[in-house]
Amino acid sequence: MRLRNIQGARDAIADSPLVIHEPEKAKGNWREIFGNGNPVRIEIGMGKGKFIHELAGKNPDVNYVGIEKYSSVLLRALQKMEAEPRENLLFIRMEAEEIAEVFADGEVDRIYLNFSDPWPKDRHAKRRLPSREFLARYDRILKKDGVLEFKTDNRELFDFALEELAPAGWEAVFVTRDLHHDENKMETNVMTEYEEKFSLKGNPIYKYEIKR
């Protein structure tokens, strides 16, 4: 049953013009792909795509690329696009480790990480999306003065993420351990799927914005 579902999701993705199928060929060519010179912003590990779909609706002069490793989840984002199309939003099904094969140096204007998998075991630290290994990849693709934004409700992951900044050559320009009580930031905050779920449970939401 489950296998059949996954196959169905894979087929739907393979047929979709909203998914970039050979993303390494897109490297350096994102202007041509979107057909304009607007900035390109990406969410890595977008899940069902609520956040990036909403951002794309709010900011038609920005191009967005949603990245997700699982077909079954990405499929939900495609279904949102059927219900409410967005000209400025495309998707890639890929493992984030390959990100620098898909965007050229400085080609990305902003990076969003939302509720990334915590990988709690020490030996898996390198797999965490805000780890120094990943920051080195983001360093290549993000434009010089570009910003990376990260939200989570996981305190251990957030503490880890903050500790990774200095050794990787990044600095925080904004930090909160209770985003939902920061009136200023909440004016423009777009909630992710997980953010809705975990803030309803009463968990505080942590956020940083960083640059080099």
Q: Which amino acid is at 163?
A: E
Binding letters toward ligand SAH, positions 162-201, x by CB under 6 A: ------------------------------xxxx------
| Those residues with Cβ within 8 angstroms of residue 174's Cβ, 6 or more apart along the chain or in another chain | 185, 207, 208, 209
Report CA 39 to chain centroid distance, whole Å. 15
For the bound state, the minimum distance from the C-beta of residue 35 to ligand SAH, rounded and expressed in Å, comes to 26
User: Which residue of 42, 46, 141, 179 would you call a contact of ligand SAH, by CB under 6 A?
Assistant: 46
Distance in Å, CB of 6 to ligand SAH, minimum:
13
d(CA 164, CA 66): 24
Closer Cβ to ligand SAH, 31 or 156, answer by number: 156
Strand 63-68 to strand 89-93: parallel, antiparallel, or no bridges (unpaired)?
parallel
Residue carrying structure tokens 């970039």: 20
Which residue, 95 or 187, is less far from ligand SAH as judged by CB? 95
Q: Please enumerate in sequence order all residues whose Cβ is within 8 A of that of 148, keeping only pairs 6 or more positions apart, or say none.
A: 110, 111, 112, 113, 138, 142, 170, 209, 210, 211
Q: Which is nearer to ligand SAH, 103 or 115 (CB)?
A: 115
Specify whether 109 is catalytic: no
The footprint of ligand SAH on residues 58-117 (CB under 6 A) is: 67-70, 73, 95-96, 114-117
Active-site residue identified among 117, 145, 159, 182: 117
Residues near ligand SAH (CB under 6 A) are 45-47, 67-70, 73, 95-96, 114-117, 192-195
